[in-house]
Each structure stands twice: as structure tokens, then as C-alpha cells.
Chains A and B, each alone.
Chain A
């Protein structure tokens, strides 16, 4: 039965046949059938990466297979979401090795997008912590792969947007924690130069990211708040937290009840928001101990916050530029403030070294911002694409709903190699999405 589905940006929306499975024999039967499809987890990528006429939902394939509380080795089925994992591992003194800004993604999605978090510069992306995983490929075989076993399949599956096959199970290494709290430091920066300096000054912190105001011009251009953090040690906790140092947080949620009309977001309201957000930290520097939940997942507290962008939805634009391309950052931020296309939360982060086949992160500055879908937006983003390319940058496929194939080709130097591996494991393009068709990844040529 066809259902209307969309990913987190609510753009595009399409009719899709959603098939689900609980057991391996069931998914093998689906893959053995005649249809083309793309695996789909919790739909938290932003654009069209997990959309297709037929999708295979992994959400019911969500069991924990192994959790060694001594070594922190964890194995689960791919449809398990990170929030469920945290519920189990945090009380035992373990944490996710890498987590994006939402815990409502599946492990399969974490692999397909090779997600990164605030610790990318220190600990790499999700794939860096995978011990091994199993991928069900188009011929119905389940293949175990890792950095050393079937490394081609492993490389093309991490960040490969589900085009090599369906990830069934993933075994990865968790991170030991003494408490579920974060020792957080927030530092205000007056402008772009200062925030970039702060990033290198605080690069020894495990976690770091900055919110940046992209509408203010002049000498406060690029004013920001840098947030860095470490998992708090037991003796750093205030007395009141010591009673239950491994508490699981974030059970209270509110829901954004309806779509806001799209005119609500305009350059005035965004400016006002930024003014308040920047102004809320009176002091230059704040140090405190906070639960992991607001540190990692500030927006998860508001379920369906994407409705704030209205019915037409939004696209998120995330690029990375090499460290040498600071002018590129300036140029892009300038274009955004000129066009008054700013978004509430623009996130800036410095990636560490990574040089994988198709994973998005590579050393440099990454900026992520939301743009409500409106007239002229796509033309504007095409212009930004040209600047990103000029400075040898690239876009993140998990956020993308609109880039052109050339943009992908130029941004990912090893794309041909990736395509060849996809062709090997998915020769008839049984696994294909709206995005892979749009980006000419699943086309015979």
C-alpha cells in the first residue's frame, strides 16, 4: 500500500510502498523479489536519500544481539535507534562512540550516512568504530565486512547511502564513561576570525562545535558561541548528581503540534532569534556540568521541530571546505547575509583528517544550515555550490535534496571507484533511491 513519506526536511514528499520485516528470511524474500528499493531507517536524513517507489523499512529489525559490559563491544540489528541504545548502555557506563545531533536515527542510517558528531576532529566518524558488519547484497547473500574483510564493500557501504545493499547487523565499539554528564565550556566569539582561532585553541577538547550568526554584518560578522565538552569524571560532579551518576536523561518531550505558516520565518525573526541566542550568554565564558542530553541533542527535546519550517519543508545545506579556504567560508556567509536567507541554527565545526571512499567528512570547516523551501532558493543554492567547488569543498549527501550530478562528481574525487563497487554488489541497481537516480549513481552509462 502506498503511503506519503518524506524525510526530515519534509521536502520532497512522495508516495511510496513501505515494506517491513522482522526476520532475516523475510528481508531475503523481499530482496529476491522483482522490485527496486532503498533501505530506510527512521527517515532522519533530510532530503531524498531514503526515498523510492518502494522502501524497505528496517524499523522492526531492531534487536540487541550482544552487549559486553566489560569490553564495550555492542552488536545490534540495523533498525535499532540510538535513543534505545543509550537507554541500555548509559546505566552500564558506556556511551556511543559517535553521535549526530539527534538520537532518533537507526544504526543502519548511521552507517549509510557515516555520521559524524562533535568529536569528529578527535575520534572520527561512525565507521571508524565499526568492528564488523553484515550487508545483504542484491544477490541475496549476506556478506560480513570490515576494514580488513571485504574492505571494498565496507568502504562503499559507509556513507554509501544504502546503494551496496541492506546493512543487517553492525558490531561496534562503545566508549567508556564514568558519568552521564558533560563538563561543558561555552565561549563567545565576536566574529569569524575569533571563532576560528578559538577552534584551534580548544582543539584538545573531545567535543566541539559552534553556533554562528550568519545575518549580522560589519565588525560582528560571524559572531558565534563555541561549545566544547568532555565526559565528566565522577569526582567532577556536584553532590546532587553523584547519587545517580549514570542517569539516563531526556525522557520529557514536547511535540511541535503543527506546521508553522512559512512566512513566520523571515530575516527579521531569524535576526531576533540570533540576537537572543547570542545574548543569553552574558559572560564571555561559561563553565558548567550538564546532562548529556541537552549537550548532544538540544533539538530532540522538541519532537517534530521540523514543522517550524512550514508545510513546504526545508533543505539543509551542509558543506565542508579545506582548512586553507577560510575566504570561502567568508564568501558563503556573505552571500547568505546579502540574500537574507539566514536560518536559525547555523552550525560550524572543524573536521579532523578523514580520507574515505565516499564518506562526507574531510579535514576542514563544515557549516550546516537550514533553508525553508521558497522561490529562488534552489537557484541560490546552485550559486553557493559554485563557491563550494571553487574552494575544493563538497556537500553532504544525507542533507541533500537538490544538488546536480556534477557537484557530486567534483566534490568526491573517488566517486568512480565508489560507483564500480556499487556496480559489483548491486549490478542491476536493485538498490536505488530518488537521490541515487538524480545523482546518476544508479544509471547505466
Chain B
């Protein structure tokens, strides 16, 4: 049976993805920190969909452990989805390097470290799909969250380059740019309902996009246009805006 590896499996989006893939009959590998706390999730998927589940210990910030982590997976997943991320606190990050470092390493460095390893394996095999959950925040830096945004911008560029390189190896790379999503990460924010997706929407879109080997998706279609407009605003205007 085909299998999917979900990196950062404890988040709302990851749990929704696990559900969608298990419902389609995929075996699911759930990788996260303190992965034992996901044991109920694993039993839930097994009972509901009669699929195999694996819990794997994975810490995005322990780069040196990534190789061993991926080598320990048997069989290797057909699809790898990189979901982990850290919104962090922009203000805190400006003063406290630990916070800034955490934002950058979780959203960018950690993702690059593990996906390099996964991509190398897929290239050798001549097949496989990689999806990265990046963010529209990476499309233009805004004063309210440019630490997060710049790390995601790096991740988006990485995925784009990876796709370019992997195409010759028949490996598919998908960039996912969700706009606002109702998750624990955004629970404290007042989000515009029309522009905000549910984790289940994201999961379904990702599933479809991987099946159709799409390159870049926005989850709610109008985000593409919103971001286009935001990107078109001339810098001399943009720099004075409160965003």
C-alpha cells in the first residue's frame, strides 16, 4: 500500500492531512516531537480506515538527527508532506535572538535539512512526491511578521528550486500557500471568515494537488489575487502602509 510521511504531525493541518490520506487508504507515518502523545491519533486512523500507522520521533531543529530519522523509516514513504512551522512572536524576535532563531530554523533551516535527505532518496528512486506547507506571508515582507514571512519566503524559494531540479528525476514538488487557516497557531487572532480556510479544506486541496501533480496552490483561490495585488503595490507606497 502507498504511504505518506507527515512531518510535524501534531498540528491541526497535519491531523487533517493524516485523516484525508488514511481515508483514501494510505498508510500514515506520523513524525513529531514527543510522538507518543499521538498514539490516540494513530489508533483512531487505524480503527476508522483500517490502515497501518507509524509514530516516529522527529525534531525539526535537531538537524543532525534527520538522516538517521529518515533511514529508520521502512518502507520509505511515497509522499512526504512537510507541515511543521512556527509563527512565533515578531516583537519578541526583534529583541530576543532565541525567538528569531527559532522562527528561522523551524520554518526554513529545519525544512531544508530534512527535505534535502528525502529529495535525494526520491531522486535515486526516480519517483516520489514532496509537498511543503509554506505561507502567503512569504510573498512580501510586512512589518507585523517578517521574521516568519522571510523564513517562509526562503522555504518557498527552496521548494521552487527543488521542483526545478527534481523534475528531471520524475519527482513531484508541490508548494502550498495557505492564507489564513483556523488552527491553534491562529486561535488568538480575529480572522476574516471569508478568507479563512479550515484545516480540512487545506488537507483536501493538498491531496488533490498531489494527485494532479500541481506546482503551486493557494488554498482559497482569491488569495492568489490578493497576493498579486499586494505584490504590485509600489515599494514607496508599501513601506508606509500598516500591514
User: Footprint of B on A, CB under 8 Å?
Assistant: 1, 20, 22-25, 60, 63-67, 77, 88
Across the interface, name the chain A residue whose C-beta is closest to B34: A25
- Asked whether, in the complex, the Cβ of B43 is within 8 Å of the Cβ of A22, the reply is no
CB distance from A27 to the nearest CB of B (A): 12
Give 1 or 0 for each of B176-189: 1 = CB within 8 Å of chain A CB.
00000000100111
A25 contacts across to B, CB distance below 8 A: 37
B125 at the interface (CB under 8 A from A): no
A23 to B189, CA, bound (A): 21
Check if A63 sits within 8 Å of B41, measured CB to CB: yes
Residue of B nearest to A87 (CB): B48
* B10 proximal to A (CB < 8 A): yes
**Chain B residue nearest in CB terms to A89:** B47
Interface range on chain B: under 10, 10 to 19, 20 to 34, or 35 or more?
A: 10 to 19
Q: Are A1 and B190 in contact (CB under 8 A)?
A: yes
Complex Cα–Cα for A277 and B37 (A): 51
* A88 touching B187 in the complex, CB below 8 Å, given contacts A22-B10, A23-B10, A24-B37: no
CB neighbors of A among B157-181 (8 A) = none
| Residue from the list B12, B47, B189, B190 in contact with A22, Cβ < 8 A | B12
Q: In B163-221, which residues have CB < 8 Å from any A CB?
A: 184, 187-190
- Chain A residues, Cβ within 8 Å of B12: 22, 60
User: Which residues of B in the span 43-86 have a Cβ within 8 Å of any Cβ on A?
Assistant: 43-44, 47-48
A65 contacts B10, C-beta separation under 8 Å: no
Q: Determine the residue in chain B with the shortest Cβ distance to A88.
A: B48
Known: A1-B188, A1-B190, A60-B12. A23 touches B44 (CB 8 A): no
Quick check: A23 and B48 within 8 Å, CB to CB?
Answer: no
Please tell me if the beta carbons of A22 and B187 are within 8 angstroms of each other in the complex.
no
Q: Report the nearest B residue to A1, measured CB to CB.
A: B188
Q: A1-B190, A20-B184 are in contact. Are A63 and B10 (CB under 8 A)?
A: no
Q: Which residues of B come within 8 Å of A, CB atoms?
A: 10, 12, 15, 37-38, 40-41, 43-44, 47-48, 184, 187-190
Q: In whole angstroms, how far apart are the Cα atoms of A64 and B40 in the complex?
A: 7
Contact of B44 among A20, A60, A64 (CB under 8 A): A64
Chain B's interface: helix, strand, loop or mixed, by majority? helix
Q: Across the interface, which residues of B come within 8 angstroms of A63, CB to CB?
A: 40-41, 43-44
Is B44 a contact partner of A65 (Cβ separation < 8 A)?
yes
A interface, over-half SS: mixed
- Residue of B38, B40, B43, B44 contacting most chain A CB atoms (<10 Å): B40
CA distance A65 to B43 in the complex (A): 6
Chain B residue numbers with a CB within 8 Å of A23 are 10, 37-38
The answer on a CB contact under 8 Å between A64 and B43 is yes
Residues of A within 8 A of B15 (CB): 22
CA–CA, A65 and B189, complex, Å: 32
Report the minimal beta-carbon distance from A219 to chain B, rounded to whole angstroms: 54
Contacts of B41 in A (CB 8 A): 63
Closest beta carbon of chain B to A16's beta carbon, Å: 13
Complexed CA–CA distance, A295 and B190 (Å): 40
The 8 closest A-B pairs by CB, nearest first: A63-B44, A63-B40, A64-B44, A64-B47, A67-B47, A23-B37, A1-B188, A65-B40
A64 vs B15: C-alpha distance in the bound complex, in angstroms?
Answer: 14
With a cutoff of 8 Å between Cβ atoms, the chain A residues found around residue B43 in the complex are 63-66
Which residues of A are found within 8 Å of B48, using beta-carbon distances? 64, 88
B187 and A1: CB pair below 8 A?
yes
Taking A1-B187, A22-B15 as known contacts, 18 extra A-B pairs with beta carbons closer than 8 A to each other, sorted by chain A number, are: A1-B189, A20-B187, A22-B10, A22-B12, A23-B10, A23-B37, A23-B38, A60-B12, A63-B44, A64-B40, A64-B44, A65-B40, A65-B43, A66-B43, A67-B47, A77-B40, A88-B47, A88-B48
A22 / chain B contacts, CB cutoff of 8 Å: 10, 12, 15, 184
A-B contact pairs, 17 of them (CB 8 A): A1-B188, A1-B189, A20-B184, A22-B10, A22-B15, A22-B184, A23-B10, A23-B37, A23-B38, A24-B37, A63-B43, A64-B40, A64-B48, A65-B43, A65-B44, A66-B43, A88-B48
Q: How far is the CA of A29 from the CA of B103 in the complex (A)?
A: 23
Residues on A with C-beta less than 8 A from B40 are 63-65, 77
A64→B49 CA distance, assembly (Å):
11
Nearest residue (CB) in B for A84 is B48
Q: CA–CA, A25 to B10, complex, Å?
A: 12
Bound-state Cα–Cα, A24 to B48, Å: 21
B189 / chain A contacts, CB cutoff of 8 Å: 1
A26, closest chain B residue (CB): B184
Q: How far is the CA of A77 from the CA of B48 in the complex (A)?
A: 14
Measured between alpha carbons, how far is A91 from B47 in the docked complex, in Å?
Answer: 12
Q: Which of B38, B41, B44 has the most CB of A within 10 A?
A: B44
